[in-house]
Amino acid sequence: MLEAPPDDRRGNEPGPQAPRMALLVTLGVLGGHTLVTVLNVLGEEPGAARLALLAVSLAALLPLQFACSTRRPHTWPVRVRVLTLCAQAVVTYVPLAWLGMPWGAMTGLLGGSVLLVVPGRLRWPLFALVTGAIVPIVVTLAGAGVTLYSLGVTLLFSLIIYGVSSLSGLVAELRETRRELAGMAVIQERLRVASDLHDLLSYSLSAIVLKSELGHRLIPSAPGRARSEVAAVLGIAGEALADVTLVATGYCDMSLAAEAESARSVLADAGIETVTELDCGPLPKELDTVLAIVLREAVTNALRHSKAEHCAIAAVREGGTVTLRIRNDGVRETGPDTVGGGGSGLGNLATRVRDVGGDLAGRPTDDGWFEVLAHAPVEPVRGPEAGEDTDGAGDRTNGAGAGAEEHEPVALHWAVRMARGMLIAVLVGYVLIVLINAAGGAASGLELLGFLGCFAVVVALQFLHSLRRPRTWPARTRALTLVLQALATYAPLLWLGAPWGSMAGFFAGSLLITTAGTLRLWLYGAAVGVVAPLAVMAGVSVYDVVYLTDSSLVAGLVLYGFTVLYRLVIALHEARGALARLAVDRERLLVERELHEVLGSSLSTITMKCALVHRLLPGAPGPAQDELTTVLDLSRQSLADVRLVARGYRARPGAQETPEHRRSHDADPGASLSEERPFTLQHEDAAI
């Protein structure tokens, strides 16, 4: 599982703890908001009846809000969601008739619930209706003077409740999305392996079979020529062993010119007259590799046809486009275009060519030949249609990874924007609320300017701490910014004479954000705790002492919670490909082991026996022919194994292999192959 970034690990905030942290922040916000409401009601010296109504209203409202904040209400049945919101609306608005303005702050909780419960675009007009309803209520109960302030508080707490609740769920969804991306990347890797097995190893093994058969026939009559064919088999076997590694790792660079020369030699040995015409000049590495693979696949098809007697290979460049045409006269019957449906081989090629912005077709022609025709731009096209492969055609997995990221919901990008937007909105909301509460305490314009200057420093440093990663800064830099914020926080006491608004909330939040371990909790407690004695020394009422302490406590907790959740979303977004890469690397190791188990031993034996035959000829043709018979058997079996392995990867690309299956495969690699459904050919020129 992906860990949190280094700065968060030092702060004991790994990803798995995010829901717990969000729950604690939610409970803290609900508790602080409830305490302010209770203080507001108590400040009006209510009677026993109003206190009882307050207790009943809180007992009904808080469980509903807790459920909406912690239970993923968007997954509830529609009827349950409607009933929940209706019940919360009743216990929010009805008590206003008896409890008055002190209860009005609870409309912020209802606004947060609307955003959490209602899906789609409907939530926003309904949210505007719920929060806007506070305006006529405030005008009726307290006059128009406090309307703007009450509306701001409602909007701010609605956003806070929605933010801490939805971001925790978003973190869980992003973590699940990363798992899905990793699974998609593994599927893409398995399809890549199946394609490369067809396009790389089938050709080499077919050539080994062909040259071994030719050498076997030549030994009695022309042992010298047979010796040269065996030497060619040795070279091809070495290439096949290299191809095993290429298939497993996903990296290969090929040359169209070299492949054309190799194809001409192999086809000539098979008795197929070949004409080659390459007039395309040097090509980019990626395009050169793709066209070489197309040529290798087409030649492999032609080698399977005893009827094929002629083959023509041509590549020309016209403007910015390269056209590769491979034709052979081995068609057995005329059929429709099979690219994309008829055969996996040409389907693989079509995918490869599309990845570089081109197209491919393979079909029988009117003159009785079979033609494979590929068009591609010299400069590969990039974009969603081109597969977003940034590392070359040979690294098919990287293209697959990009394909997985194309399926990655805009949620990953939208989540970062939403988290940042909500963090900024909360900061701005607190700034406005503090300005409204505290600016009136200045006795003169000069004192007001001094307060605004200090407050600007506090806000700027808070934005810096929240939107950057201060735990990665040098210790001296962090200490300097905290000291500066502390001075700007407490300096206005010299002329205001009393704590102002959520004075310590910003500073306390910065302490939680920038420090680590249990030290930050002590610093957080000290920053908030100093508010109460300062307020007592200033001679404010007990109600104001509790209010100032509570608002500072909640503000620090909210700013810290939003900041950490924002960073966690950023970390998950930035590392969205890491898990996929790890999964693909693991899959490649498994593929490499399986291929070496299935083919490595056979190819090594083929190589050794060919070397032995090469030494035996021309002096001992009898033993050489016996050894070459073994080479033929091994080559044919290896070719069959390649087809079956490739088909197994393609047929069940998303299947999860069980440990029992893995152990049985380890014990007998051929057993799992023999259990596969036999590979079938439709049209031999259109399928491998």
Domain residue spans in the chain? 253-393
Does 244 have pLDDT greater than 80?
no
Is the peptide bond preceding residue 492 cis, with omega within 30 degrees of 0? no
Residue 567: predicted pLDDT: 82
Q: For residue 366, give the DSSP letter.
A: T
Residue 482: predicted pLDDT: 94
What backbone torsions phi and psi does residue 328 show, to the nearest 5 degrees? -145, 160
Average pLDDT, the chain: 75
pLDDT in tens, 175-192: 666 666 666 666 666 666
Does 333 have pLDDT greater than 70?
no
Residue 684 CA to residue 519 CA, distance in Å, equals: 73
Residue 200 CA to residue 352 CA, distance in Å, equals: 13
Does 254 have pLDDT greater than 80?
no
Given a contact cutoff of 8 angstroms between Cβ atoms, the answer to whether 114 and 131 are in contact is no
Average pLDDT in the 278-286 region? 86
Q: In what order do the strands lie in the sheet with 310-318?
A: 273-279, 310-318, 321-328, 370-377, 359-364
Given a contact cutoff of 8 angstroms between Cβ atoms, the answer to whether 378 and 284 are in contact is yes
- Domain 253-393 CATH (choose: 1.10.3720.10, 3.30.565.10, 3.30.160.100, 3.30.460.80): 3.30.565.10
Going 385 to 387 to 389 to 392, the CA torsion angle's sign is: negative
Does 670 have pLDDT greater than 50?
no
Give the pLDDT band of residue 82 (cuts 50, 70, 90): very high
pLDDT in tens, 421-439: 888 888 888 888 888 777 6
Count the residues in the chain.
688
Alpha-carbon Rg for the chain in angstroms: 37
Does 668 have pLDDT greater than 60?
no
Q: Which helix (H) or strand (E) holds 278?
A: strand 273-279
Smallest Cα–Cα separation from 355: which of 581, 244, 203, 195? 195
Q: Which one has a higher pLDDT value, 241 or 319?
A: 319
Does 304 have pLDDT greater than 70?
no
Residue 565: predicted pLDDT: 78
pLDDT in tens, 21-63: 667 777 887 888 888 888 888 878 888 888 999 999 999 999 9
pLDDT in tens, 87-97: 999 999 999 88
Given a contact cutoff of 8 angstroms between Cβ atoms, the answer to whether 485 and 462 are in contact is yes
Residue 601: predicted pLDDT: 65
Residue 657: predicted pLDDT: 41
DSSP output for 224-271: HHHHHHHHHHHHHHHHHHHHHHHHHH------HHHHHHHHHHHHHHTT
Average pLDDT in the 543-550 region? 85
Does 394 have pLDDT greater than 60?
no
Residue 530 CA to residue 504 CA, distance in Å, equals: 8
Q: Which helix (H) or strand (E) holds 623?
A: helix 621-651
| Helical segments of 469-575, H only | 475-490, 493-496, 503-514, 517-529, 531-537, 542-574
Give the pLDDT band of residue 651 (cuts 50, 70, 90): low
| Helical segments of 123-201, H only | 123-132, 134-142, 147-196
Q: Which one has a higher pLDDT value, 195 or 11?
A: 195
Given a contact cutoff of 8 angstroms between Cβ atoms, the answer to whether 316 and 323 are in contact is yes
Place of tokens 């007039």: 279
Residue 422 CA to residue 425 CA, distance in Å, equals: 5
Residue 195: predicted pLDDT: 65
pLDDT in tens, 334-381: 444 444 333 445 666 787 788 888 999 888 888 888 899 999 998 765
Residue 389: predicted pLDDT: 37
Given a contact cutoff of 8 angstroms between Cβ atoms, the answer to whether 231 and 218 are in contact is no
Average pLDDT in the 259-271 region? 81
Does 200 have pLDDT greater than 70?
no
* Ramachandran assignment for 679, one of left (phi > 0), alpha (psi -120 to 50 degrees), beta (any other): beta
> How do beta strands 321-328 and 359-364 pair?
unpaired
Query: Comparing 184-198, 453-467, 489-503, which segment has the lowest mean pLDDT?
Result: 184-198
Average pLDDT in the 575-594 region? 64
Residue 275: how many other CB atoms lie within 10 Å: 11
Residue 592: predicted pLDDT: 63
Q: Which one has a higher pLDDT value, 559 or 414?
A: 559
Give the pLDDT band of residue 258 (cuts 50, 70, 90): confident
